[in-house]
Amino acid sequence: MNRLRGGLVGRVLLVGLVWLIAYPLAVVLLESVRGPGGWTLEYFRQFLGRTGDWQALWGSLWISLASVLLSAAVGIPLALLFWRYEFPGRRVLGVLVALPAVLPPLVGVIAFLFLYGETGFVARLVQALFRLEQAPWRLEGAMAILLVHGYSMYVYFYLLVRAGLAGLDPAMLEAAASLGAGRARTLRHVILPLLRPSLAGASLLTFMTALASFSAPYIFGGGFRVMTTQIVTSRLNGDYGTAMVETVTLTAVALLGLWIIGRSGETTATAGGMKGTGGGIRLQTSGLTRVAVTTISWLLVLGLLLPHLTLVLLSFVPIGTWTVETFPPVYRMVNYLALVRDPERLRPLLNSLWMATAATVIAVGAAVLAGPLVTRRKSRGGAAIEGLLGLPWVVPGTVFAIALATAFSVHQPWLGRVILIGTPWLLPLAYLVRNLPITSRAILAGFRGLDPTLDEAAASLGAGRWRTLREVTLPLLRPALSAGAALAFVTALGDFVTSIVLYTYDTRPLSLEILSSLRQGDVGVAAAYGVLLMVLSALAFAAGRDRRTVET
Amino acid sequence: MTPFLEVDRLAKRFAAVVAVNEVTLTLAQGQILALLGPSGSGKTTTLRLLAGFETPDQGRILVEGNDVTATRPAERRFGMVFQHYALFPHLDVGGNVAFGLESLGVRGADLDNRVSEALRLVDLQGLERRRVDQLSGGQQQRVALARALAPEPRVLLLDEPLSNLDPTLRERTRREIRALIRRVGITTVIVTHEQEEAFDLGDLVAVMRQGRVEQVGTPEQLYGAPANSFVAGFVGRASALEGTAVESDAHTTRVRVGEAMWSVPSPASGPLRGALTLMVRPEGLRLGPPSSPGVNATVLDRRFIGAEALYSVRLASGAELEVSGDPGAAKPGDSVSLQPTGRGILLYPRSGR
């Protein structure tokens, strides 16, 4: 009877996931080879013949690879610095420097715009200093995209490398030292090889994020083409066949990247347990080194956080009060008040909140249902569920948005297709799909960490399935649940990629309101929305991490 | 004896491995059974079948004549103490002990009373609000015991109860557990791979190998009359030696070992003939000067164990034995002659087990 119930949950879950995740992608693949007159390769032929598409594909590829290198160049030294040296403020800075991870990409992009853009602070400062007639530069094109990517994606290298370093066996370093290896040799021949899984993971994460990046190329791209923006343009132009082919191509590139980088990270587990004295690792700095390390760290962190501070500053600037001055002359609360008082301004906030909440709750629920099926029984169904849950992570957000828009644009209930486009339901569904990989990854990891004998202990003490779930499993999963929920909520709240394809006026989320405020020249309101997103994201993360982990 | 717990031809197979093979056991109310065997012998699987965590492929489990084979663990009312205790880390001591009582619908003051009663039983009174990770290993184990006993289960199951404890704590804990089980009077099954533990805790000991029960009996029966050479070797020290029965009657068997002829008491199963396996306990042989009649051997090593010494000796055939003797009887390198003492040599037909 139990087995039957487990089987039923599994089947319902599997069908739901196939319908939401695999099916829309299959529809896109089909539509890319189907024209008005039946099966055709016409769209692919057109695609191959267009220079614009080749440029976009090449642009996506090299920007993504360059983003990986740039992020590594910032993130790895930063991680080593915070791991190796003890200096005043190390802990606080170590947390602050990871802050861009909690920020929605669009917020990062506009913050960058306000700081380094044509009319940003730095440009104005340079202009004033050198008494130039015009702005000294325009922030546009590939270099601008790359800068933004490096700025926001170094966090992946920083976080993963720090995690990798934390997992290093200190005895390994002591062994290297006792064998006469100097610091440089230890770094090159011991630390970096041991960090290979972390480095591969960070490279993969950065590559996939850069490949899927939409906000930066959309805002800064100018004439520079990448696949994500190309897809949206094709679709907006009504060029559906082309959009389908572009979508399929981008997915293929993403899968290829996953395969190549994923393979390079495979490594055999290191032998031997951890047994060393942790104290030996961190160098206590003193004198000149201490001053230098501290200064460098503070400056680095300040530089990395400057865009966000800019955003906060600008959120207090009323519209029309800042023209040619280097710094805005007037600071008021009007922008924030407008968000609350003006129903039209409040609307996007409420939209984003309910849609993100709904997507989060369902994603967490699905992951909890999937947990026992995936981690306990070694069934094929469990593997399929886990694969489906992870799939949206591989596929760029733009692709999913197009796939959902395509699959749910016709009424064919017997094919599982209903019209959801234009309804308030499509966007939360899209958020849900995008949330599933991150949420389920956190929650499944939680399930894997559970001691299965606790379930048996509960059963032997007479607790049924429901009581065991409620009083044993869920309380123990709480850290994983809150982490998964926080990640999901923050992602959905700041989503721009899928929103721009799927929103309707009534369901317009925060990100699109930021964009339209920006277009109307209302920098203050855009910044205020951005700060709000920042604060809400930070709060969600704080709530997700605050729960004390239960030690076993 | 009226059977309280009966296990009837229980079998469980995992893929290609037969983990438990036709296991049959019977326990009277209040009896303690120790399942003893090397790792992989099926003792833990047997326990998990009893608890209901695994479903048998064949066989039945009966409690007071009622078939509980298909009863879910939650309804079986068997208390279990897990090897690593499996205390709920998010609940305090009281919460852990109350968990099973709450399943029975015990609430309010009654619950509190029964929790503190259970804790008093294991000598942890007053520790209700303590976090479980603040307890020592021994205390955690006592909480696990209290938690299992609080709902007054019909049968108590203990999986390697002492394996997680500091060696210095083990003997004391063993005595405490034995006293506790006796006091509660609960029918108990204990899994262990340590003979000393099994003998100390069990009224009955079942020796298992490769999924089968080789022999069930009291510790005295197992030591004095092991059913086969495996049990003889597993229960207490014994070295195997090959010999040939020359003459055998109900009382005495004359065995040729190398050039010597030994007279050894015949097994209870009756006279033997042909090729034999002799299971020789250290007290089964005595060391004599090389000139005396017996099997010649060379002393390899001598270890002192209190008043006696344990000698490792090698025969001309290459076989090595452990023989106990006076610490001054010989020293490494000496040639000696071995003669039976009249006890501690067990005879088995060589082909048999």
> Could you write out the DSSP letters of every residue in A123-171?
HHHHHHHHT-SS-S----SHHHHHHHHHHHHHHHHHHHHHHHHHTS-HH
A166-218 pLDDT tens trace: 888 777 777 777 777 777 888 888 888 888 888 988 998 899 999 989 988 98
Question: Which CATH number, 3.40.50.300, 3.40.50.2300, 3.40.50.150, 3.30.379.10, labels domain B5-231?
Answer: 3.40.50.300
Q: Does B164 touch chain A (CB under 8 A)?
A: no
Q: Do A462 and B84 touch (CB under 8 A)?
A: no
Q: What is the rounded CA–CA span in Å between residue A303 and residue A513?
A: 28
Which among B53, B84, B99 has the least Cβ separation from residue A461? B99
Q: Does B104 touch chain A (CB under 8 A)?
A: yes
Q: Taking the CA atoms of A104, A109, A114 and A116 in sequence, report the sign of the dihedral they define.
A: positive
Number of Cβ pairs < 8 A linking chain A and chain B: 72
Distance from CA of B133 to the nearest CA of A (A): 7
Q: Which of A2, A460, A477 to mutate to test the interface with B (most CBs of B within 10 A)?
A: A460
Distance from CA of B203 to the nearest CA of A (A): 24
Written as six digits, the tokens of A405 are 């828009």
Element (H, E) at B77: none
| Whole-number CA gyration radius for chain A | 25
Q: Do A456 and B133 touch (CB under 8 A)?
A: no
User: In chain B, which stretches have pLDDT less than 70?
Assistant: 1, 351-353
In 3D, which of B166, B165, B175, B118 has the Cα closest to residue B141?
B165
Q: What's the start-to-end Cα distance of chain A, in Å? A: 32
In 3D, which of B158, B154, B150 has the Cα closest to residue B99?
B150
- Do domains B5-231 and B237-349 share one topology? The answer is no
Give yes or no for a contact between B32 and B181, defined as CB atoms under 8 angstroms apart. yes
Q: Do A463 and B151 touch (CB under 8 A)?
A: no
Q: Does B151 touch chain A (CB under 8 A)?
A: yes
Q: Do A459 and B100 touch (CB under 8 A)?
A: no
Question: Which CATH number, 2.40.50.140, 3.30.310.50, 3.90.105.20, 1.10.3210.10, labels domain B237-349?
Answer: 2.40.50.140
Give yes or no for a contact between A460 and B85, defined as CB atoms under 8 angstroms apart. no
Beta bridge partners of B62: B6, B67
B75 three-class SS? helix
In 3D, which of A539, A540, A511 has the Cα closest to residue A110?
A511
Q: Do A460 and B151 touch (CB under 8 A)?
A: no
Q: Do B89 and A552 touch (CB under 8 A)?
A: yes
Give yes or no for a contact between B10 and B24, defined as CB atoms under 8 angstroms apart. yes
Question: So what's the pLDDT on residue B51?
Answer: 93
Smallest CA–CA distance from A478 into chain B, residue: B90
- Torsions phi, psi for B92 (to 5 deg): -80, 180
| Max intra-chain CA distance, chain A | 81
Q: What is the rounded CA–CA span in Å between residue A384 and residue A388?
A: 6
DSSP classification of residue B244:
E
Q: Does B60 touch chain A (CB under 8 A)?
A: no
List chain A residues with CB under 8 Å of B105: none
Question: So what's the pLDDT on residue A6?
Answer: 58
Which among A475, A476, A551 has the least Cβ separation from residue B133? A551
List chain B residues with CB under 8 Å of A472: 88, 90
Query: What DSSP letter does each residue of A108-121 carry, written as one string?
Result: HHHHHHHHHSTTSH
DSSP classification of residue A17:
H
In 3D, which of A524, A407, A458, A64 has the Cα closest to residue A260?
A64
Which among A2, A451, A457 has the least Cβ separation from residue B80? A457
CB atoms inside a 10 Å sphere around CB A323: 8
Q: Do B100 and A2 touch (CB under 8 A)?
A: no
CB atoms inside a 10 Å sphere around CB B302: 17
CB atoms inside a 10 Å sphere around CB A237: 10
Q: Which of A454, A455, A461 to mutate to test the interface with B (most CBs of B within 10 A)?
A: A461
Give yes or no for a contact between B7 and B24, defined as CB atoms under 8 angstroms apart. yes
Q: Where are the domains of chain B?
A: 5-231, 237-349
Q: Do A459 and B77 touch (CB under 8 A)?
A: no
Q: Does B148 touch chain A (CB under 8 A)?
A: yes
Nearby residues of B228 by Cβ (< 8 Å), 6 or more positions away = B214, B215, B348, B352, B353
Which among A453, A462, A463 has the least Cβ separation from residue B82? A453
Query: What DSSP letter does each residue of B103-151 carry, written as one string?
Result: HTT--HHHHHHHHHHHHHHTT-TT-TTSBGGGS-HHHHHHHHHHHHHTT
Question: So what's the pLDDT on residue A351?
Answer: 92
Enter the ipTM. 0.81
Q: Do B147 and A461 touch (CB under 8 A)?
A: yes
Q: What is the rounded CA–CA span in Å between residue A508 and residue A502?
A: 9
Query: What DSSP letter does each residue of A390-404 carry, written as one string?
Result: HHHHHS-HHHHHHHH
Q: What is the rounded CA–CA span in Å between residue A245 and residue A234?
A: 10
Give yes or no for a contact between A350 and A510, defined as CB atoms under 8 angstroms apart. no
The whole model's pTM is what?
0.78
Smallest CA–CA distance from A548 into chain B, residue: B90
Smallest CA–CA distance from B153 into chain A, residue: A461
CB atoms inside a 10 Å sphere around CB A191: 20
Q: Do A461 and B103 touch (CB under 8 A)?
A: yes
Judged on CB neighbours under 10 Å (0-12, 13-18, 19+), B345 is: buried
In 3D, which of A518, A537, A521 has the Cα closest to residue A218?
A518
User: In chain A, which stretches have pLDDT less than 50?
Assistant: 1-4, 268-280, 547-552
Smallest CA–CA distance from A472 into chain B, residue: B88
Smallest CA–CA distance from A456 into chain B, residue: B53
Sheet holding B17-28, edge to edge: B17-28, B3-14, B58-63, B66-67
Task: Enumerate chain A positions whose Cβ falls within 8 A of a Cβ in B.
Answer: 2, 451, 453-454, 456-464, 467, 471-472, 475-476, 550-552
Q: What is the rounded CA–CA span in Å between residue A100 and residue A320?
A: 30
B63 three-class SS? strand
Element (H, E) at A104: none
Distance from CA of A477 to the nearest CA of B (A): 10
Question: So what's the pLDDT on residue A176?
Answer: 78
Beta strand segments in A234-340, E: 283-284
Question: So what's the pLDDT on residue B151?
Answer: 92
